[in-house]
Amino acid sequence: MKLSALILISLAMVLPVQASTITFDMTGVLGPLESGIDPLNLAGDSFEFTGTIDQNAIPVATDTGSATYDVSGDVQLTMRGLTFTSGDASLTIMDSSTGPDYMMFTFTLSDYGFTPFIAASLSLPEGTLTGTAPQDFWATVGSDSSVSYFLIGDSSFISGSYGLSGIAQMTGDGMPASGVPEPGSIALMAGGLLAVVWKVRGRRKSRAN
């Protein structure tokens, strides 16, 4: 076997496979109504909110302890047997140094003839998140979590804000990002392989002589 082929096979063996996506899922109950109006009497209804994001997504904005991402795929909100879809969602991850961590979603629904803008803020127990990248976690959302809607009509504007309760989680489809070796580790691996190559070549030259 050629040494170049050996190097490629060895690198493939030592480098882990990275997950391509992380799935977000929250199930819970909407309410109570905290401000505004509830024209569809949604307070007290159960819901499910799902979506996916690239595990290695690059943030579009950052601040101290937070990062905001565009969610490349659709997110879906299911209530009362109806599924609403949005393709313009954004996600903000906040890893607080003290107190609760937060995840915030904003998106616009465009099904069934109306287009409300939705903003959801999920309060997570302190220490749930490690950094501001998409990551695996499971948590019960805190009592200060909320979701608000804003609906602008031709000649009217209505809005409302609800509390919410439930379970939120993110789950990757492969090895978590923490399993990816640092660049320095990769360099050490490559250096070791090169040392083996030079040693083997030296032995071949010695035998030839």
pLDDT digits (tens, 9 = 90+) for 74-103: 899 999 999 999 989 999 999 998 999 999
How many other C-beta atoms are found inside a 10 Å radius of the C-beta of residue 98? 5
CB atoms under 10 Å from CB of 173, counted, come to 11
Per residue in 62-77, pLDDT (tens digit) is: 999 999 999 988 899 9
Is it the case that residue 9 has pLDDT exceeding 60?
A: no
Exposed / middle / buried, residue 104 (Cβ in 10 Å: 0-12, 13-18, 19+): middle
Q: Report domain extents, the chain.
A: 17-180
Q: Copy the structure tokens of residue 62.
A: 């950052």
Name the average pLDDT for the chain. 81
Q: Contact, 168 vs 201, CB < 8 A? A: no
Least confident of 89-93, 178-182, 196-200: 178-182
Q: Is the pLDDT of residue 8 over 70?
A: no
